[in-house]
Amino acid sequence: MTNEIDIRKVIAVEEILEMQKLEKQIWGMEPIPVHQTITAVKNGGLIIGAFIGKRLIGYSYSFAGYAEGQSYLCSHMLAVDQEFQLMGIGKLLKDEQLRVARGMGYELIVWTFDPLESRNAYLNTSKLYGVCYDYIVNCYGKMADGLNKGLPTDRFQVAWWINSPRVTEHWQPTTIKYITPCSVEFSAGKFPVLQLPEGQEWLSAESVEVPVPKHIQLMKKQQPELAYDWRLKTRAVFQQLCDAGFVLIDVRRTEETVHYYRFCKRSIIPLAKSKESLK
């Protein structure tokens, strides 16, 4: 099926209108106005579409950003039609985004994702080799769409240094050992319950694993109070890790009810050294 998919840059108004339809279908809210997306594309932004024939089945939308003397590409949305999810289309879209962004002169692409969405974390760190060293509390305020309703909109920001050895050489640490300071128990509904570590000694470790639910959306529907508990507890852990100089670099997937986020010290990661401080 993926051989039938055409991944390419989107500039035509008619195709951007199709992007709007897909956006509304997935998030259940009013889409970004066309005049905004067209203006972004004409001024350093980028839309990449995934097509089967003339049908748009996925897209990534990004616009130009600037902070601390560094220009970068802010990747705002990545969407794939539900009929075609779990087929690797998101990875194809990001690969083409990287290729085109390099040609435009960008060295950095940033975006955010919900820290409890482990599937997104796996794509962003284990497949694309992005890193996360910024945790943003309630980034977008209260949101009422189907994916975000019910929880504070905390986000990890991904920094994708597209010309760094981390990305070009698919760098992962090979000799460090991870500790797991948090434990997991189970609720009456068979969902995992996070138990926080005692003390602060674990923050002096070389590397750390933190459990995250495999199915946060199902948990939100069936036990919303437990999902909220996961948000607050992981917020506390992730903030402490970021403040202590740790970076999310990988996801260890399991057959259990949780996956494990892997953190190591930022100082050992081969990033764009002169510019890696961007927030």
pLDDT, one tens digit per residue, over 222-232 is: 999 999 999 99
Phi, psi at 278, each rounded to 5° = -55, 135
- pLDDT greater than 60 at residue 276: no
Q: How far apart are CA 139 and CA 174, in angstroms?
A: 33
In this prediction, residues 124-135 reach a mean pLDDT of 97
Q: What is the overall mean pLDDT for the chain?
A: 92
* Structure token digits, residue 271: 């990033």
Residue 73 to residues 7, 70, 101, 132, 165, Cα–Cα distance (Å): 19, 10, 8, 16, 19
Q: How far apart are CA 238 and CA 92, in angstroms?
A: 29
Q: How far apart are CA 90 and CA 88, in angstroms?
A: 5
Domain ranges of the chain: 2-168, 183-268
For tokens 């600037």, name the residue. 66
pLDDT of residue 140: 87
Superfamily name with CATH number, domain 2-168 = Gcn5-related N-acetyltransferase (GNAT) (3.40.630.30)
- pLDDT greater than 70 at residue 2: no
Q: Which of 70-74, 142-146, 274-278 has the lowest mean pLDDT?
A: 274-278
Could you tell me whether strands 155-161 and 131-136 are parallel, antiparallel, or unpaired per DSSP bridges?
antiparallel
DSSP of 242-267: HHTTEEEEEEE--SSSEEEEEEEEGG
Phi, psi at 137, each rounded to 5° = -80, 125
pTM value > 0.85: yes
- Specify which residues 277 forms β-bridges with: none
* Structure token digits, residue 100: 């085109």
